[in-house]
Amino acid sequence: MIMIIKSINDNLHYIIECFKRGDIIVLPTDTLFALSCDASNVESVRKIFEYKVRGKEKSLPLFFYDIEQIRQVCELNNLALMLAQRFWPGALTLVLPIKKNQNLIAENVYNSGESLAVRIPNSMHLQTVIKELGKPIVATSANISGQAPVKDSAEALKVFGERVVIIEGKSKPLPSTIIKINDKDYEVIREGQIKINQIEE
């Protein structure tokens, strides 16, 4: 059965139920469409790797509700905090070291890797979903690895079919900007909506 939800705003409680029961959801964000699930659900995370045909050695990016929730999973140094306070919620993804003893997300999200791509999306609806769920959600681009991200719900249906719940919406033209935080400095992985000169300021 094809499940297409017309509006995230009018169906927040139903969408939260979908996350709780382990559904894979294609949803519009403040950047590109995301393939998403509850980041603590091992089986749902496994399906996302399978649907994307993504290498198991990679990790999956996550959306969080706030900085305190991120602290439960990742280490934030002063530089990370400064960038977070300046650009979140928004289109900046930070790649941060994972805490060794975290127990908020499933281990197969990062598959023994040492860092994780995280951000707080600039979407009150998504923030509400994450807050109510009480856990971060996976937010990887909605595509088969190596192919272009889907632009809308019709394209999502073509790519993923009836295996996913689809929320209607439009993709923004640019992805998030990705910055990897090292001990003392940072490395630009991808320039997206936020320009590098804004980061350097």
- Domain with residue 124: its CATH number is 3.90.870.10
Structure confidence at residue 33 (pLDDT) = 96
Name 74's bridge partners: 98
Question: How many residues are recorded in the chain?
Answer: 201
Query: For the chain, what is the domain count?
Result: 1
Structure confidence at residue 36 (pLDDT) = 98
Structure confidence at residue 142 (pLDDT) = 97
Q: What are the structure tokens assigned to 157, written together?
A: 């249906």
Kind of pairing between the strands at 25-27 and 3-5? unpaired
Classified as helix, coil or strand, 13 is helix
Q: What are the structure tokens assigned to 90, written together?
A: 């928004």
Structure confidence at residue 7 (pLDDT) = 85
Segments forming the whole domain that contains residue 137? 3-200
Structure confidence at residue 86 (pLDDT) = 97
Structure confidence at residue 140 (pLDDT) = 97
Structure confidence at residue 120 (pLDDT) = 98
Structure confidence at residue 170 (pLDDT) = 84
CB count in 10 Å sphere of residue 134: 13
DSSP code at position 149? P
Contact 109, 56 (CB under 8 A): no
Structure confidence at residue 1 (pLDDT) = 62
Segments in the chain below pLDDT 70: 1-2
